[in-house]
């Protein structure tokens, strides 16, 4: 597949992310599929950051590996990334910003020396050096200038006209300079041959799913990598009737969401691991009061503050055990951006039908990375299931909010429904909501009521289990090796499978989106056809492999875990799979 792997690196504050995002947006509007990944540090200025945009005429399942075009905005970028540029690729650099020195001896790549900083200074704004570089990159890739001009006018149109013109001059200078530096690289990816598509992050898709599902309350405290959900909802939510609250901490966040849900609106909150830790007591409260609330957990590397701007799948155990005691929950882990939309919609319905908290897990890689999404992949005409609600037409006499039922789901009344006053107790309670410690005398009645109420609540787990989706088997049914994965690793795994197939190996993947409660029988059926298995996870201990064994009794044959803060690259999975295939592990 002919593709562009465009990488730009520099220090925080150099405009690395905006340069890459602008390039990605132009590619999408030109009919290409894109997949982006940003590696950055938790500093406002300085450090080393880089972003890669992978683009092609065909869908790109991962951010790829080595670039075929690199823009080096500082010395550290040159030192780290120049050796990685593919043969036949190009390097755009400025000797005032970085010196290639010994790295410049590579005869297999084009080195384009461009006075980015000087050009920007002459235009009166040194920060525009990245715009000069972007113009050069487009010329190297045979990209017409008009789309960039339109994009710059759109981006800076709200500013003074001279700002727009300065950026256009900067881009034109870089673009025109390539003609005198050997012309294009001849990568061969055509632009403008297909209609434009949408581009969004996993976090964006969750926001759209929330709006489609009728979310009317969102609360959050800023925490990377969930912060962009708050940013998006703050800008777009109010016009669709969503009350958006930035609270002082995650304790307030989850309690606000639970209060809104108790009052009868669909409520959502989002955070990362550290914030979720603060939410767990209140999640147990929602489990006890049987209040539907959606909590989004966008994972980053832990423990504690960990790596605030790096990715990981290390919070599964946290989600499984959040809140003391036993209470019913479901955990969904979407594998891609369209599934982020779909999982959010389903989570709202599950929360209200089963009157319990639902957790949707993502991570930095999926949550913050831009992906191409086809319009048909998002269906906004979604069912909205409110569950077992009283109609308010009766007198509410003898209303039992927590009535014992075969399904464990009791009639729910919104506060203010005439005649249906009730207590939503966080202590253990009887059917009417009255605390059993207050009204029940004698040990036998305590035991009986506690047991019956616990069993009532936990019966919801079986209902949830049958609502969730079984794992997807992708690839040939009878394979020598099955790669087991969950969540955002799907793309890298599938790309690795394609390469292994090209080598003549029969390999497939068993992919999980709905994690808990697991569809045990369906999963066991899928596992019966597995000859040898390799579980791939972005955490140290293999948390999902442990869950799989606990739920089904199946122990994976081999593990491949990654915990350095970076996502899997397809070649890493290929190499580990070959070890298993050729050497038994």
Select from 377, 408, 439 the last residue of a domain. Answer: 377
Are the C-beta atoms of residues 404 and 452 closer than 8 Å to each other? yes
User: For residues 22 and 199, what is the distance between their CA atoms, to the nearest angstrom?
Assistant: 11
DSSP 412: B
Q: What does the DSSP assignment read for 116-141?
A: HHHHHHHTT-GGGHHHHHHHHHHHHT
With tokens 């992906």, the residue in question is 371
Please check whether residues 420 and 353 belong to one and the same domain: no
Residue 103, pLDDT > 70, answer no
Residue 80 inside a domain? The answer is yes
Vertex 11, ends 5 and 15: CA angle to 5°? 65
Please check whether residues 41 and 160 belong to one and the same domain: yes
With tokens 């120049």, the residue in question is 82
Measured between alpha carbons, how far is residue 483 from residues 213, 543, 556, 576, 579 in Å?
A: 33, 15, 10, 11, 13
Domains: count for the chain = 4
Domain housing 179: 3-196
- At 118-135, the pLDDT tens digits run 999 998 888 899 999 999
Report the run of H or E that residue 107 belongs to, with start and end. Answer: none
Please check whether residues 176 and 227 belong to one and the same domain: no
Residue 148 inside a domain? The answer is yes
Share of residues in the chain with pLDDT > 90 (%): 81
Q: Phi-psi bin for 64: left (phi > 0), alpha (psi -120 to 50), beta?
A: left
Which pLDDT band holds residue 197 (cuts at 50, 70, 90)?
Answer: confident
- At 27-76, the pLDDT tens digits run 998 889 999 999 998 877 778 999 999 999 999 999 999 999 999 999 99
pLDDT of 301 reads: 97
Please check whether residues 36 and 108 belong to one and the same domain: yes
Please check whether residues 72 and 204 belong to one and the same domain: no
Q: Is the dihedral of CA 273, 472, 36, 91 positive or negative?
A: positive
Residue 383 inside a domain? The answer is no
Please check whether residues 62 and 181 belong to one and the same domain: yes
Residue 317 inside a domain? The answer is yes
Select from 435, 468, 501 the last residue of a domain. Answer: 468
Please report, for the domain that includes residue 93, its CATH number: 3.40.920.10
User: For residues 316 and 192, what is the distance between their CA atoms, to the nearest angstrom?
Assistant: 42
Which pLDDT band holds residue 297 (cuts at 50, 70, 90)?
Answer: very high
Q: 528 exposed, middle or buried (CB, 10 Å; 0-12, 13-18, 19+)?
A: exposed
Please check whether residues 434 and 478 belong to one and the same domain: no
- At 516-543, the pLDDT tens digits run 999 999 999 999 999 999 999 999 999 9
pLDDT of 434 reads: 87
pLDDT of 279 reads: 98
Which pLDDT band holds residue 188 (cuts at 50, 70, 90)?
Answer: confident
Q: Comparing 75-79, 105-109, 551-555, which segment has the lowest mean pLDDT?
A: 105-109
- At 403-448, the pLDDT tens digits run 999 999 999 999 989 889 889 999 999 999 988 876 555 556 778 8
Residue 382 inside a domain? The answer is no
Which pLDDT band holds residue 501 (cuts at 50, 70, 90)?
Answer: very high
Residue 243 inside a domain? The answer is yes
pLDDT of 439 reads: 59
Residue 572, pLDDT > 60, answer yes
User: For residues 500 and 505, what is the distance between their CA atoms, to the nearest angstrom?
Assistant: 5
For range 189-203, the mean pLDDT: 84
Please check whether residues 161 and 29 belong to one and the same domain: yes
Please check whether residues 105 and 246 belong to one and the same domain: no
pLDDT of 124 reads: 87
pLDDT of 149 reads: 87
With tokens 């593990």, the residue in question is 559
Residue 375, pLDDT > 90, answer no
Are the C-beta atoms of residues 344 and 269 closer than 8 Å to each other? no
Are the C-beta atoms of residues 18 and 8 closer than 8 Å to each other? no
pLDDT of 441 reads: 56
Please report, for the domain that includes residue 210, its CATH number: 3.40.50.970
For range 571-580, the mean pLDDT: 98
Q: Comparing 182-186, 272-276, 283-287, 366-370, which segment has the lowest mean pLDDT?
A: 182-186
pLDDT of 101 reads: 76
Please check whether residues 60 and 10 belong to one and the same domain: yes
E runs forming strands in 82-203: 90-93, 110-113, 198-201
- At 146-168, the pLDDT tens digits run 888 888 888 777 778 888 888 89
The mean pLDDT of the chain is 93
For range 373-398, the mean pLDDT: 89
What own/partner pairs with CB < 8 Å and gap ≥ 24 does 409-416 have?
409/353, 409/354, 409/355, 409/460, 409/463, 410/290, 410/355, 410/456, 412/290, 412/355, 412/387, 412/388, 413/389, 414/263, 414/264, 414/389, 415/262, 415/263, 415/264
Relative to beta strand 46-56, strand 33-39 is antiparallel
Residue 585, pLDDT > 80, answer no
Please check whether residues 251 and 351 belong to one and the same domain: yes
Tokens of 308: 């605030």
Share of residues in the chain with pLDDT > 70 (%): 98
Please check whether residues 69 and 172 belong to one and the same domain: yes
Select from 196, 218, 253 the last residue of a domain. Answer: 196
Please report, for the domain that includes residue 558, its CATH number: 3.40.50.920
Tokens of 67: 């670039």
Measured between alpha carbons, how far is residue 470 from residues 92, 349, 478, 488, 524 in Å?
A: 48, 18, 19, 17, 10
């Amino acid at each position: 597949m002919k593709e562009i792997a465009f990488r730009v690196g520099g220090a925080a504050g150099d405009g690395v992310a905006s340069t890459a995002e602008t390039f990605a947006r132009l590619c999408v509007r030109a009919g290409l599929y894109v997949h982006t990944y940003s590696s950055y540090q938790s500093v406002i200025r300085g450090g080393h950051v880089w972003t890669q945009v992978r683009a092609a005429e065909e869908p790109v399942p991962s951010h790829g590996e080595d670039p075929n075009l690199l823009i080096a905005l500082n010395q550290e970028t040159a030192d780290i990334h120049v050796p990685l540029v593919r043969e036949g690729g190009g390097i755009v650099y400025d000797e005032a910003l970085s010196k290639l020195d010994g790295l410049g001896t590579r005869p297999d790549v084009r080195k384009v020396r461009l006075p980015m900083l000087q050009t920007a200074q002459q235009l009166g704004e040194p920060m525009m050096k990245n715009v000069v570089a972007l113009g050069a990159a487009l010329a190297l890739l045979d990209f017409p200038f008009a789309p960039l001009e339109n994009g710059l006018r759109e981006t800076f149109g709200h500013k003074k006209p001279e700002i727009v013109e300065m950026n256009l001059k900067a881009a034109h200078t870089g673009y025109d300079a390539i003609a005198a530096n050997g012309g294009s690289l001849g990568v061969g990816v055509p632009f403008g041959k297909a209609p434009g598509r949408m581009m969004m992050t996993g976090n964006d898709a969750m926001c759209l799913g929330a709006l489609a599902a009728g979310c009317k309350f969102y609360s959050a405290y800023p925490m990377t990598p969930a912060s962009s959900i708050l940013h998006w909802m703050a800008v777009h939510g109010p016009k669709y009737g969503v009350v958006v609250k930035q609270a002082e901490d995650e304790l307030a966040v989850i309690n606000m969401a639970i209060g809104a849900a108790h009052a009868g609106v669909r409520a959502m909150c989002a955070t990362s691991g550290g914030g979720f830790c603060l939410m767990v007591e209140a999640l147990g409260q929602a489990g006890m009061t049987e209040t539907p609330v959606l909590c989004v957990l966008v994972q980053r590397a832990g423990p504690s503050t960990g790596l605030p701007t790096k990715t990981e799948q290390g919070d599964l155990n946290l989600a499984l055990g959040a809140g003391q005691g036993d209470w019913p929950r479901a955990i969904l882990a979407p594998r891609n951006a369209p599934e982020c939309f779909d999982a959010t919609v389903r989570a709202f319905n599950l929360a209200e039908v089963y009157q319990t908290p639902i957790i949707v897990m993502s991570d930095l890689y999926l949550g913050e990375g831009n992906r191409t999404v086809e319009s048909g992949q998002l269906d906004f005409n979604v069912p909205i299931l409110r569950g077992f609600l009283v109609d308010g037409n009766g007198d509410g006499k003898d209303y039992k909010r927590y009535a014992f039922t075969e399904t464990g789901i009791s009639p729910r009344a919104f506060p203010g429904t005439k005649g249906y006053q009730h207590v939503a107790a966080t202590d253990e309670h009887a059917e009417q909501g009255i605390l059993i410690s207050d009204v029940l005398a004698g040990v036998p009645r305590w035991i009986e009521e506690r047991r019956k109420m616990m069993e009532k609540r936990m019966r919801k787990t079986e209902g949830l289990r049958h609502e969730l989706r079984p794992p997807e088997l992708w690839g040939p049914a009878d394979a020598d090796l099955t790669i087991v994965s969950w969540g955002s690793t799907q793309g890298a795994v599938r790309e690795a499978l394609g390469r292994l197939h090209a080598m003549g190996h029969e390999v497939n993947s068993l992919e999980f989106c709905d994690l808990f409660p697991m569809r045990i029988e369906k999963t066991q059926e899928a596992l019966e056809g597995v000859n040898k298995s390799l579980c791939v996870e972005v955490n140290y201990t293999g948390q999902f492999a442990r869950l799989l064994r606990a739920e089904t009794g199946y122990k994976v044959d081999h593990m491949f875990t990654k915990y350095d803060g970076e996502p899997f690259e397809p070649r890493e999975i290929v190499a580990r799979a070959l070890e298993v295939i050729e050497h038994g592990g």
